[in-house]
Amino acid sequence: MFEYFKKVELLEIKVESLEGKLEDAKKQIEYLELEKERILSEKRYLVEECGFEVDFNKMNAFSIERLLKNSRETTCIGYFKQEQVQVPGEWQFECSKITHERLVKEFLDYKSSQQK
């Protein structure tokens, strides 16, 4: 009978130990989630602040669109690669909506100048 109580006591100690580890793991997960959000927020800010130019003429671009990729908004420019035969390619990158809208306007200006 004594051995029975000893086994139960050991099991209770293991349960308490695991509950402590579980609580520590939950705190660590919470910290990591917050750190992930901080890093993503910082990246979003950097992406939104960066500026760049696209030469649609040199790219021989034929389309531009906004896509959702891995729950992230990206801009995709379709273009023809400079090879013996026109081979379509696409360039996907992250940028702010404001930058995307600016690029769409530039692309539309580029396309209208090609039709003249």
Query: In a structure prediction context, what are the per-residue pLDDT tens digits for the chain, which is 116 residues long?
Result: 678 788 888 999 999 999 999 999 999 999 999 998 888 877 776 666 667 789 999 999 999 999 988 888 899 999 999 878 889 999 998 888 888 999 999 999 999 998 86
User: Given this model, what pLDDT does residue 43 score?
Assistant: 75
User: Given this model, what pLDDT does residue 97 score?
Assistant: 87
User: Given this model, what pLDDT does residue 37 score?
Assistant: 87
82 and 68 both lie in a single domain: yes
pTM over cut 0.95: no
28 and 70 both lie in a single domain: no
38 and 76 both lie in a single domain: no
Last residue of a domain, one of 25, 49, 73: 49
DSSP lists the bridge partners of residue 110 as none
44 and 57 both lie in a single domain: no
44 and 78 both lie in a single domain: no
User: Given this model, what pLDDT does residue 4 score?
Assistant: 77
Domain count, the chain: 2
User: Given this model, what pLDDT does residue 116 score?
Assistant: 67
User: Given this model, what pLDDT does residue 57 score?
Assistant: 92
59 and 16 both lie in a single domain: no
User: Given this model, what pLDDT does residue 49 score?
Assistant: 67
37 and 57 both lie in a single domain: no
104 and 57 both lie in a single domain: yes
Encoding tokens for residue 15? Answer: 């349960």
74 and 42 both lie in a single domain: no
42 and 86 both lie in a single domain: no
| Alpha-carbon separation of residue 21 from 13, 17, 26, 34, 71 (angstroms) | 12, 6, 9, 20, 33
65 and 108 both lie in a single domain: yes
- Tell me which residue range forms the domain holding 37: 1-49
